[in-house]
Structure 1
């Protein structure tokens, strides 16, 4: 999703200027579908690049392209081409996998979009003087402070844990000396009593180690759970403070992945980091012990360990690329399986079982290929590492044995060294694991910080009006709005409108005319690109969004039913339900008889984990939810489009009484829903084309008349 801004960031850095991904994302106007060339071009121009997007063939790419450039990859991705040294050496930077080298055939397979003309898309960028005059972003230090603040409340437990780790380190340190004592003192002097005493001491140390490890585990569990809850709770709290516009540009999977990133960071903070500190101390202490026994053995140990570390780390990049590919295919596999299960009715209706199964098998084949490559790399890494380790241990054993023969050390010292070598393998592996997990934690933390760096819907310290007028006109003054890029097609154009207080205003128009967009502006989900929306004499932006929505009863097209009881779904705003108001709302929404027919009545669980409801029943519960709030302002977006005629008639009659003294805005297609409105607004391609009552608009025989005529046989029913 962020491949476009990432490519632009890489090219900006190539020319010596740094811009954060957050800045470039905002300038690129990302949508749920990710980046677009138009958005990337807009961002590039804003920071001082001259841009050009062209179709090219291979020869033109080699001869005429200004490098580095951005190219469209696999029809759904963007990468940077840095250099083309030969037909077999094309250096690219992929936002997902890093720097890679392709040969001509592989490159063309991914790049060529138009197979017929054998051309692909190239996006060229050249810096202008403005690029160097602009002030770039300041690089942020790695945000450790945000992590460590979660450890501060647990200082006491951290002190206990570090004490336990230190005790454990000294207990481990004592064992090789006791082993040496058994051989050098007990066996040499042939004193059974000394051997017995040393063995008892060893047993006591082992028991102490066991108790210490249990204590450490308990502390870690206690601290981990608390930090985990706080960590994710803070993240969810931040998410809920973000404006709706953020969620409209993010896929659910992307947000869920960032929540999973919290778990990775929490694990790194509470497990990997602390264990690595202990491992570092253990490694240092045992290295000193080996150095005390023999400096020659210690130096060889360091050389062997360094070679082992270099060997393991040399595979990190390949593993990272394969992990990215596996993650992408695994996501496709999960989505495909969900689609297979949920769309079985359509699959059977269209007899496409074989094709859908082949789609799934194709994903499995790709996963199989990735897993085979991962297995080969893991085996090579593991076998090579084990071989290096064994050679190191054998040579150290040889050096120790020859030292015993020469009388430079005792047999007990040699056995102690062997014990220490065995103990050193664990901290060494933990160190390597720390490097891997720290990389993952850094990536996860960067992704999470993208959320924390976004401004809240109501920023802290900004004072907004919380006293919402109960009965005021809503006024649109020259309002123009477009989603994202200001250069994109406008969803609303020059809207001048007065929604009168205490009256019912209906908004009609064809699909895509801007009806729902206008409603979202009313609710403060978005702000106008130009113009102003006022409640009375004050701009809507002057009022607290939270308090404004508290005064609004809203039914949106995509209204959500929670996995909870019917009562809590209707009275969602209250912790303690007002059952009189609850039953009143259900009666007006004509859902009370259905609820009472259920065995558990209002306590029946509904939603994804409960009783299944028809679309009409869901809409009636959503209408009841809006009524329960007893709002001063009511906004309904196609609130009855799933209802049968009988239910709709009853509900509309009930609502007419409820509307009294309230400001109501209805977005609808059905004649029965809008004909009694005090004012009808007709939108067409984002513009107001007609305003009036049902009768006056019919008599004009304009756009509204055509809408009604398309819906009904006008001469018979109007």
Structure 2
């Protein structure tokens, strides 16, 4: 390195403008500091600063480049960054004495830089107090920036927004017991908690209802600013607090100019649940308990109603609008609107948006829409509908609309109904409103009823070209009919046989005419005998052909049944866990059983309809031969009426069947739930209460069954009436033809026989229409399974096979939250590294995210942010099924299958290895009780392991986890159901097994976690502490507190 003898020019180089410390200083102070820089030069390869050395100077590069390098675990050089002209490094060296360099910077070309030594800077601060004042200001601003990025939701604000926030926050102190915000006061500043704890509460009729507890990094006061209302709650300091206040003007500026800030505020507001009564958290116990440790409040009837009223979703809507720019109301009245019924109450928003898509001509899958609007266990929000519609190609406005603007509001629109439901409004006039309710279908409401139940919030839509690019739903019958393609030749033979059978049947009336007109008049007994024999032969041939046809179709039915069941099982097992979390077991079972019903309908009714159609075609052909006039009369008098009846009933049967299937699914779920929990039901003596609940649910189901049966009875009655009228009309015209000698008596008898042979098959086909509608509904419900995206997509060719892993696991800023824009994160940027063979214990309060973390580790839940790396490879790039074979997993609730103990231990292996099974049982301390059973390892344990105790099931689960000797083991409360002696025996066995294996253990018992190599402490989804047991106890943080609670310290 060489230092230039000549001072640099009085005018400061442009590169110094990038030094953040100098940005705060006025021009005269800045010039003093700039004059203290010296110019230095470095040759190619020369070290500018070395990792670990004292940080004693700041550098600003003027020309050339430099590489930032860090030493790896094996002292190899790891390149981190390349610095170029204008870049600054070492800024913290001026402010933090005894700071060490964290990386090496080496010149990668001849380089010139400006250097400011800390000693020179410190002397300047001593001689010029003004410089010191701005240094203090910079330090405070730097600390504030770090705080905002580390503890608050504003870490990802762009630099401009962060700068406005930093400049606008005003520090203040609040003593314990003082009110920061009072309910009912005008809107004021938004506050960010720097230190201390506060609580928010609402005063209802003199009763204080605790709503929220606030800690470091939380913010409050934003609701009234965003909505322009008075304060909705009071906030009291529980301890001495340090706060930062953001004035309303700067808040409005940030909301208007920075979408990320507005998004954070809206998500926070939409996540508020004003019906929830907050319990005192453990970290508030010292200040609030026992004074606030009273039991749940007994609410008055008025308070109960008030608490049951959801807070209006204002934060999810645009401001109240008077103009609908870009959203057009249709010129003509919408008379017909598509109907999509919800599968359950949570799907109302998704079903409503699906109907809007269908109205605009795009047959978008309900499954795709459900995912787009983030349907969760509590349904979806207005914000979710808006975001989902935008992703599908709509221009959307989520708005609060004055009810006086209802006549000019663009339609169709999705309305918020009674604050807990969604429906589509597609026409309105002075007296009535026409809506489609996903729970009930089309409805005509009194306008007064609409205005009384509509909350005023609506989603308005205008389609864009992007909507045309959204994939459409596959045909409900298309995928099912595809299974019949390999049997086209056999089906063609069956069709030919159907026509042969029909032709044989038609010979009987034809020969009857010949007998009446010719044989009887000629008194020819020999010809009569021959014709009767021919008729008998034709009838016998028809019967034999029909039997052969049924055998062929039955063979096809068995094969199609097997293939559809196998395909559906493959698709179902490939679905992610999120699919099963969002649906009831009974509903899934109902959908699967619908496939068998649909197959039986398709085959059995298909055979009948095929035979009937063949018979109709042949009979009509013969009828045309005898009298084309009578044939046309018959067809014109019956076919249009049948067609109109079928069209009319279709629009009513499908919604009826869909509602019926939904109710059956709910009822079956209730039955399954009741049987699984029968032990709890009997223990609580709740049989009678449960029976009434099931009876009420069945009453709803039986009402829908009755409406469906009544509709079918009317339909079948109408079919019979049309059939009778057409026959009466034919007989009258046929008799006139005989009277006018245009037709013989034999011809009339024969024609009448053909009409009868034609009429019954037509009635059969028409009456099968309702069965076809039922089939379409059943197959449509299966689309929910077939169209859902499989785990890791349909194409696995790009995934990396996992034959073995070393056990090196890295959690990289892992985040997870359940679907829905208002859902709080369960995991929030968790990051730590686990070397092979490390024993990791994960601890934290209930609900801190421990189980979610390990489910993400095993790929059972898909992270919404960050990633997990196995041996340096991202989890999403690995074949998940092969990876899970390398992980032994013990869940909190372990399912046992209705099989033998050996089959349960070796589950997933077709032929269990007896020696391996017994070894795994010994490791889990299960061999003793297993060998005492009469059948030993071949004992069947019943459905869900009902014949075993909780501790025995847990030991079987541990044996199953270690059976394959996986390199990674995960235990989620794996010994919680064991007694102390059994736990000690299992722990001793596992200690030997875990040698050299990576393991993750979740436990509340200190004895289980204290020997771990690393202890990870989670709090509200964040990693707050890590280290060994001794290190964490020394820090006396959250882990120390949890251990103290357990030990009674």
1:462 matched to 2:805:
no
- Would you say the 8 A contact 2:502–2:542 is kept in 1? no
Residue 352 of structure 2 aligns with which residue? 7
The answer (yes or no) to whether the contact 2:413–2:425 under 8 Å persists in 1 is yes
1:553 Cα deviation (Å)? 0.8
Judged with a 3 Å threshold, the aligned counterparts in structure 2 of structure 1 residues 260 and 86 are, in CA distance, closer, same or farther, namely farther
CA distance in 1, matches of 2:477, 2:721: 37
Deviates most, 687-696 or 382-391: 382-391
470-479 or 226-235, which deviates more = 470-479
Q: By how many angstroms is 1:71 displaced?
A: 3.3
1:81 aligns with one of 407, 425, 438: 425
1:443-482 matches, within 5 Å, as 443-458=777-792, 459-460=794-795, 462-482=797-817
Q: What secondary structure is seen at the aligned counterpart in 2 of 1:629?
A: coil
Instruction: Tell me the CA shift for residue 371 of structure 1.
Output: 4.7
From 86, 91, 112, the counterpart of 2:434:
91
Could you say which residue in structure 1 is the equivalent of 2:1026? 691
CA distance in 2, matches of 1:598, 1:408: 91
Separation (CA, whole Å) in 1 of partners of 2:620 and 2:566? 42
Choose from 238, 242, 245 the match for 2:575: 242
2:732 maps to 1:398: yes
Residues 154-303 of structure 1: pairs in structure 2 closer than 5 A: 154-267=487-600, 269-273=602-606, 275-303=608-636
Q: Which has the higher helix share?
A: 1
TM-score of the aligned structures, taking structure 2 as reference length: 0.62
- Which residue matches 2:916? 581
TM-score (norm 1): 0.89
Q: Tell whether the 8 Å contact from 1:9 to 1:19 is kept in structure 2 after alignment.
A: yes
> In structure 2, how many angstroms separate the alpha carbons of the residues matched to 1:418 and 1:301?
11
Q: Is the 8 A contact 2:807 2:967 kept in 1?
A: no
**Match of residue 718 from structure 2:** 384
Which one has more relative contact order, counting CA pairs under 8 Å at least 6 apart? 1
Residue 43 of structure 1 deviates from its aligned partner by: 0.8
Against the structure 1 CA distance between its residues 60 and 515, is the aligned structure 2 distance closer, same or farther, given a 3 Å change threshold? Answer: farther
Aligned-residue offset at 1:480: 2.3
Contact in 1 for aligned 2:972/2:1001 (Cα 8 Å): yes
Q: Matched residue of 2:943: which SS? A: coil
Structure 2 equivalent of residue 115 of structure 1: none
Q: How far apart are the structure 2 equivalents of 1:701 and 1:659?
A: 29
Alignment partners' CA distance in 2, 1:207 and 1:145: 38
Segments of 5+ residues of structure 1 without an aligned counterpart are: 113-117
Distance 2:380 2:960 in 1: 37
> How far does residue 264 in structure 1 lie from its aligned partner after superposition?
4.5
Q: 2:765 aligns with which of 424, 431, 455?
A: 431
Is the 2:654–2:773 Cα contact (8 Å) retained in structure 1? Answer: no
1:92-142 CA-to-partner distances (Å, cap 9, x unmatched) read 12345543323468x56xxx9xxxxx65445412346x8456654254663
Contact 1:595 1:601 in 2 (8 A): yes
Provide the secondary structure at the position in 1 that maps to 2:841: strand
- Number of aligned residues: 701
Give me the whole-angstrom Cα distance separating, in 2, the residues matched to 1:153 and 1:267.
19
Q: What is the SS of the residue equivalent to 1:50?
A: strand
Contact 1:553–1:633 (CA<8 Å) still a contact in 2?
A: yes
SS class of match (1:315): helix
Do the aligned residues in 2 keep the contact of 1:20 with 1:137 (CA within 8 Å)?
no
1:228 shift after superposition: 0.7
Q: 1:496 Cα shift?
A: 1.5
The SS at the match of 1:489 is coil
Report which stretch shifted further, 319-328 or 406-415.
319-328
Pairing 1:335-346 to 2, within 5 Å after superposition: 335-337=669-671
| Mean Cα deviation higher: 557-566 or 621-630 | 557-566
1:137 alignment partner in structure 2: 470
Task: Name the counterpart of 1:640.
Answer: 975
Partner of 2:832: 497
The answer to whether the 8 Å contact 2:550/2:607 transfers is: no
- Residue 27 of structure 1 aligns with which residue? 372
1:651 Cα deviation after fit: 0.8
Structure 1 position 441, deviation (Å): 3.8
Deviates more, 1:570-579 or 1:76-85: 76-85
Residue aligned with 2:925, SS: coil
Residue aligned with 2:1024, SS: strand
In 2, Cα distance between equivalents of 1:243 and 1:485? 17
| Residue-by-residue CA offset, 1:242-262 (whole Å, 9 max, x unaligned) | 333333333323332332342
**Alignment map for 1:606-617 (pairs within 5 Å):** 606-608=941-943, 612-617=947-952
In structure 2, distance between residues paired with 1:616 and 1:156: 58
CA distance in 1, matches of 2:679, 2:773: 44
Unaligned runs of 5+ in 2: 1-343
Once residues 652 and 709 of structure 1 are traced to their aligned partners in structure 2, the CA distance between those partners, rounded to angstroms, is 23
Query: Which deviations, in whole Å up to 9, do the C-alpha atoms of 1:156-198 show, x marking residues without a partner?
Result: 5324323321211211221211221221223222223322222
Go from structure 1 to structure 2 and tell me whether the alpha carbon gap of 1:505 and 1:84 turns closer, same or farther (over 3 Å shift): same
The 3-state SS of whatever aligns with 2:429 is strand
* Segment of structure 1 superposing worse, 138-147 or 683-692: 138-147
Change (3 A) 1:223 1:496: same
Q: How far did residue 498 of structure 1 move?
A: 0.9
- In the alignment, is the contact (CA less than 8 A) between 1:55 and 1:119 conserved in 2? no
Change (3 A) 1:296 1:175: same
CA-CA distance at 1:325 after TM superposition: 4.0
SS at match of 2:846: coil
Measure the CA separation in 2 of the matches of 1:451 and 1:325: 18
**Measured at CA, do residues 447 and 621 of structure 1 come closer, stay the same or move farther in structure 2, by a change above 3 Å?**
same
| SS of the residue 1:390 aligns to | helix
CA change 1:97–1:685 in 2 (3 A) is same
| 2:891 paired with 1:556 | yes
Which residue of 2 is the match for residue 511 of structure 1? Answer: 846
Is structure 2 residue 1049 aligned with structure 1 residue 706? no
Deviation at 1:427, TM superposition (A): 2.6
Stretch deviating more after TM superposition (273-282 or 520-529) = 273-282
Measure how far apart 1:374 and its partner are.
4.1
Whole-Å separation in 2 of the counterparts to 1:7 and 1:193: 75
Deviates further, 482-491 or 421-430: 482-491
**Which of 413, 417, 424 is residue 69 of structure 1 equivalent to?**
413
